[in-house]
Amino acid sequence: MVAMMMMTVTRADSINYGEALRKSILFFEGQRSGKLPPSQRMKWRKDSALFDGSDIHIDMVGGYYDAGDNVKFHFPMAFTTTVLAWSVVEFGDLMGSEREHALDAIKWGTDYFMKATKIPDLVVAQVGNPYGDHDCWERPEDMDTPRTSYYITKEKPGSELAAEIAAALAASSIAFRTTDASYSNILLKRAIRVFDFANKYRGSYNNSVGEAVCPFYCDFNGYMDELVWGAAWLYKATKRARYWDFVKSNMQAANVSPFEFGWDGKAAGINVLVSEWVMNDSSSANLFIPNADALMCGLVGSPTKSFYYTKGGLLFREGACNLQNVTALSFLLIVYARFMEGVKKTLSCGKEVVDSKWLINIAKSQADYILGKNPLGMSYMVGYGSKYPQRIHHRGSVLPSLDAHPQHFGCRDGVAYFKTEKPNPNVLIGALVGGPAYDDSFQDSRYNPGQSEPTTYLNAPFVGVLAYLNKPNII
């Protein structure tokens, strides 16, 4: 009797990680730009931006809109692709039939980056004038704002951008290795070329591209972390010593924000990625393992409280779009926990002896919070659970679709839809939003993009987290 009751309680409460995983990947179809394939499942989205790149005579049709606007910012798009690929590299075996959808989501990015890097010593940095775009509230399918293409060259370099694209191509080459060896080879060859370009012509795209990318996606903490991150992925993909040497000799310079992992800061990701192959190698472990250990102990909260958790239990960091940091750090917790399991390692965090299960439990608590176990009892994944954000800051979701409203909307014709209190007509299934404030409160309002806007780099690490949590009997 007692046992049965407990089971019922657990089930009623329980989170469906499999459903969340499926939806977290489906979301990427809602962000697609370009000509949509017949396999498109997010049906309210249609073809858009079919002439991108025509201003520079390079076919730049495709890729992803990065958030609730219609600009294709390649720097965060590349990070998104790298982390989606990492999710498949680590957890693809646990994804079941979702693995194929995850690979499609990666390929939508890598096919596009092959176009962006087609011409040697030139990398397209972005498509869409962000000022023109942000001035309008239009569906992607209607866009009539300037689709300007911006690019970097030898003379006007952008090492962070090119190196992150190299990382995305190298990581994806590993993700595709078993299912499509020839595509995998093509990606790897290009990754090698693009990394050389990034490394040889050094500089920040901040300066080379200027105000089209910064203040939107400024590279705040420098390009050394992207160069080392790119080299680490190339080493994992090729096992060539020159990449490993590059990683070791430049890590000190790259490690400026060791507790950060996101489209801007890669250091925490490098420390965890590299840990896999230095766990037993005491000679080069010192550059990486103590940093990764310190991050994990920080997240555990011992010996010092380096991270703040809300009363409801959510990891909270200053700045907009908090959940991007939560999903990315949760991913690192699980990946590192698995590497620890491989060598039967535990951590000494102050007085605490921390094992891999402890780290996985922290990541699980974050995922569960996001999916509804929180003081408001709401899910921060659109279309998951019975209560989720209804007024997300997202042009395509807010305006009626082409099916419902075939007539063109001009630049400001969508403003009334933005201002209404009504829920968005199109459900962007699987989208995570920026998430609640430090006091667990949440404003379901288009006027608060810091809380209500989805982004691709928010979802990408969550794909890996959910694939792992969906595995039976993990704890």
Ligand X SMILES: *[C@@H]1O[C@H](CO)[C@@H](O)[C@H](O)[C@H]1NC(C)=O
Q: Please, what is the minimum distance in Å from the beta carbon of residue 465 to ligand X?
A: 16
For ligand X, give the closer residue by CB, 59 or 281.
281
Return the bridge partners of 32, or none.
64
Nearest Cα neighbor of 79 from 230, 275, 304, 280 is 230
d(CA 312, CA 441): 10
Distance between CA atoms of residues 213 and 75, nearest Å: 9
Stretch that binds ligand X, among 48-56, 106-114, 216-224, 364-372 (CB under 6 A): 216-224
- For residues 342 and 289, give the distance between their C-alpha atoms in angstroms, rounded to a whole number: 14
459 forms part of the interface with ligand X (CB under 6 A): no
Which span (180-188, 215-223, 237-245, 389-397) binds ligand X, by CB under 6 A? 215-223
Q: Rule CB under 6 A: which of 90-129 touch ligand X?
A: none
Rounded to the nearest whole angstrom, what is the least distance from the CB of residue 227 to ligand X in the complex? 12
| Identified binder of ligand X from the candidate list 262, 389, 454, 461, rule CB under 6 A | 262
The region that residue 321 occupies, defined by phi over 0 for left and psi between -120 and 50 for alpha, beta otherwise, is left
| Half-sphere exposure in the Cβ direction for 183 (13 Å, CA) | 16
Provide the minimum distance between the beta carbon of 281 and ligand X in the complex, in angstroms, as a whole number: 8
Query: Of the candidates 119, 186, 214, 427, which one interacts with ligand X according to CB under 6 A?
Result: 214
Q: Does 435 bind ligand X (CB under 6 A)?
A: no
Q: Is 393 a catalytic residue?
A: yes
Q: Of the two residues 169 and 268, which places its CB atom closer to ligand X in the complex?
A: 268
Distance between CA 91 and CA 471 in Å, rounded?
10
DSSP line for 160-217: HHHHHHHHHHHHHHHHTTTT-HHHHHHHHHHHHHHHHHHHHS---HHHHHGGGTTTTS
Q: Considering only 108-116, 213-221, 356-364, 410-418, which stretch makes contact with ligand X by CB under 6 A?
A: 213-221
Asked if 415 and 443 count as a contact pair (C-beta separation under 8 A), the reply is: no
For the segment 314-353, give every residue that binds ligand X (CB under 6 A).
Answer: 317-319, 324-325, 343-344
Asked whether position 220 contacts ligand X by CB under 6 A, the answer is: yes
Which of residues 184, 206, 327, 356 is near ligand X by CB under 6 A? 206
* Interface of this chain with ligand X, residues 271 to 300, rule: CB under 6 A: 280
The residue from 101, 393, 394, 405 that is catalytic is: 393
Residue 110, both tokens: 């890598």
Nearest to 105 by CA among 64, 146, 71, 67: 64
Residue closer to ligand X by CB (options 307, 418) is 307
* CB closer to ligand X out of 122 and 224: 224
Q: Are 164 and 82 in contact (CB under 8 A)?
A: yes
The partner residues of 73 in beta bridges, in order of sequence, read 126
Give dist(CA 76, CA 73) in Å, integer.
6
Closer Cβ to ligand X, 205 or 358, answer by number? 205
Binder among 68, 92, 109, 222 for ligand X (CB under 6 A): 222
Catalytic residues: 393
User: What does the binding site for ligand X look like in residue numbers (CB under 6 A)?
Assistant: 204, 206, 214, 218-220, 222-223, 260, 262-265, 280, 317-319, 324-325, 343-344
